[in-house]
Amino acid sequence: MDALENVLPQRFNNRLITWSKQVDRPLPWRRERDPYRIWLSEILLQQTRADTVVGYYHRFLKAFPTVQDLSDAPIDVVLKMWEGLGYYNRALNLHKTAQIVHTELKGQFPDTYEGLLALPGIGPYTAAAVASFAFGRHHAVVDGNVLRVISRLMGLQDPVDQPAIRQQIQYLANELMGTANAATYNQAIMDFGAIQCIPGNPDCPTCPFASDCVAFLTDAVSSLPIKRKKQPVADRYFVFYIFHKEETVWLMQRGHQDIWPQLFTFPALEVTAIPEKKRPLQLRNQLQAWTGLDLSIRFPHAPELKQLLSHQRIHGYFLPVHLPAKTKVPADWVSVRKGDFSAQALPRILKTYLESYGLPI
Ligand code: SF4
């Protein structure tokens, strides 16, 4: 491929490995060879910064030292431990994969790229990372850092989030790795993207590839990598009803689909627009149609809270509703002692509300 003429693999990975010897990020999964620990760290690292992951990694390993421990744990316990990391489907897939490895694969992770790729929650990047770090398999990783490095180095002018261009970059990554040790090379190129070839304005004059890098030589660093237009963000509006009585509040567990899968929230109604504070009757009627409860509603003093997810902006409105004695609540609501949410994983918007405003007395 023409792009490789500028950056011959042998010269590239010699310089890359030399560069990497000067930096050594002290991360706990570094030089780890245990597939369970490597896989766990890679799933935690998807969409999340390494410094945030460190604490979660230690807590998960303490609670679930082996894949069997994770497999045997109730999903609600896993979700509670995941709380705050977002993208909760990762936690569901983590649990599913642990169960498959424990029950169907006799506790052994597959030792091939293809075998790993077949497991829930493991895509091409994670399969390559686990296959190379745990089993020394010769597969180059392509994550966001590697995409950036290669597209700049080669001066790629196509959007890197298009499948065909991703494939081209995977090919280039494999070629660049050449015959280098896969684990060493993969770690080095990811570090290089995270430390040297950073988004925005990297320190190109100190870069070991400055004399070869097409982006640097053509003054195109800040415009690469090219990405397609972002998906528009959709606004969604939720009214969270804080049903309470004496020392009790009620929660509902969400389904598998949609945002916050299997997390707990206050019973919530999704509405099509910002609920108008001047229309208590409308909310009261909606509530009655949904729950069968005929209750008066006080308007909240809390302001609207927002949470930005990957392609959605969630607007949350919190309405305290006092339940009169002997009210029969729907069977799928879960009663919780006020303030004791130690067993239920809550979405960030609820935690923010509780931290800021607390529960009604
Ligand atoms: S010269 Fe700059 S843009 Fe090119 S690889 Fe090095 S840090 Fe990245």
Q: What is the pLDDT of residues 229-260, one digit of tens each?
A: 778 899 999 989 899 998 999 999 999 888 99
Q: Which ligand 1 atom is at minimum distance from the Cα of 224?
A: 3
Query: What number does the ligand 1 atom closest to the CA of 210 have?
Result: 1
Dihedral through CA 74, CA 75, CA 77, CA 79, nearest 10?
Answer: 180
pLDDT tens, 20-66? 999 877 899 998 999 999 999 999 999 899 999 999 999 999 999 99
The amino acid that residue 220 corresponds to is A
302: pLDDT strictly greater than 70? no
Instruction: Tell me, in angstroms, the distance from the centre of ligand 1 to residue 159's CA.
Output: 18
- At 2, the pLDDT band (50, 70, 90 cuts) reads low
Q: Is the peptide bond before 120 cis (omega within 30 degrees of 0)?
A: no
Tokens describing residue 246: 């004496």
For the Cβ of 204 lying below 6 angstroms from any atom of ligand 1, the answer is: yes
State which of 149, 192, 219 you would mutate to test the pocket of ligand 1, scoring each by most atoms of that ligand within 8 A of its C-beta.
149
- Per annotation, catalytic residue among 32, 42, 270, 304: 42
Could you tell me the pLDDT band of residue 97, with boundaries at 50, 70 and 90?
very high
Q: Which of 148, 174, 125, 123 is nearest to 227 (CA)?
A: 148
d(CA 192, CA 207): 10
Average pLDDT over residues 117-130: 97
pLDDT for residue 278? 57
Pairing of strands 248-253, 264-265: antiparallel
Ligand 1 center from residue 288 Cα (angstroms):
61
> Residue 346's pLDDT band (boundaries 50, 70, 90)?
very high
Query: Do residues 138 and 182 make contact, with C-beta atoms less than 8 angstroms apart?
Result: yes
Average pLDDT of span 264-276: 84
Verify whether ligand 1 is closer than 6 Å to residue 154 (CB atom).
no
Among 7, 198, 216, which residue has the most ligand 1 atoms within 8 Å of its CB, making it the best to mutate? 216
Q: Is the CB of 267 under 6 A from ligand 1?
A: no
**Burial of residue 93, with CB atoms counted within 10 A of its CB: 0-12 exposed, 13-18 middle, 19 or more buried:** middle
Question: Does residue 214's CB lie within 6 angstroms of at least one atom of ligand 1?
Answer: no
Kindly list the structural domains of the chain, giving each domain's residue range(s) and its CATH number in brackets, ordered by start.
2-223 (1.10.340.30), 234-357 (3.90.79.10)
Q: Half-sphere exposure of 179 toward its Cβ, with a 13 Å CA cutoff?
A: 1
- Count of other CB atoms within 10 angstroms of residue 217: 14
E strand segments, the chain: 234-245, 248-253, 264-265, 268-271, 305-308, 312-322, 333-337
Please tell me the distance between residue 123's alpha carbon and the centre of ligand 1 in angstroms. 27
Residue 3: predicted pLDDT: 56
Q: Residue 339 Cα, ligand 1 centroid: separation in angstroms?
A: 51
Average pLDDT, the chain: 90
Is residue 5 among the annotated active site residues?
no
- The answer on pLDDT for 265 being more than 90 is yes
Residue 338 in tokens: 């006020």
176 CA distance to ligand 1 middle (Å): 15
pLDDT of amino acid 229: 76
| Per-residue confidence (pLDDT) for residue 286, from 0 to 100 | 79
Those residues whose C-beta lies under 8 Å from the C-beta of residue 6, and which sit 6 or more positions away, are: 153, 154, 212, 214
CA 25 to chain centre: 21
What tokens were used for 116? 């790993």
Residue 202 Cα: closest atom of ligand 1: 7
Q: What is the C-alpha to C-alpha distance for residues 11 and 44, in angstroms, rounded to an integer?
A: 33
- Tell which residue, 181, 164, 291, has the closest CA to residue 228: 164
